[in-house]
Each structure stands twice: as C-alpha cells, then as structure tokens.
C-alpha cells in the first residue's frame, strides 16, 4: 500500500485529493475523458523454481 490508498485517507482527505487531481487533469481532457494506453506481458506455462 501507499499513502494514497483509500484505507489510509480520511474521507475528507480523499475528497480533497480527488478534487485537486480532477482540476489538474481536466486541463488535458477537455472532453472529460482521459485515454490511457497500457502494455503487459503474459507468459504461459508452469513457473520455474529458482
């Protein structure tokens, strides 16, 4: 866990964080949506022992 997890924030802090991030990010998302791309790797098979 990190300090930004909901479990470690008060409800007031979580709402404040949400509002501040929304204000910062909305400048880059004029249509109200953010498009993100992600990359992953899937390896099939049984894990090897080290």
What's the rounded Cα separation, in Å, for the pair 23 and 28?
10
Give the model confidence (pLDDT) of 12-47 as tens digits: 999 999 999 999 998 888 888 888 899 999 989 888
Q: DSSP of 31-46, one letter per residue?
A: TS------------SP
pTM of the model: 0.55
Both tokens of residue 21? 């991030």
pLDDT at 35: 84
Whole-number Å distance between alpha carbons of 27 and 20: 12
pLDDT at residue 7 in the model: 84
Reported residue count of the chain is: 50
């Amino acid at each position: 866990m990190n300090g930004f997890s909901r479990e470690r924030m008060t409800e007031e802090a979580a709402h404040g964080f949400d509002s501040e991030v929304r204000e910062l990010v909305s400048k880059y998302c004029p249509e109200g949506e953010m498009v993100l791309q992600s990359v992953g790797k899937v390896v099939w098979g049984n894990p090897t022992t080290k």
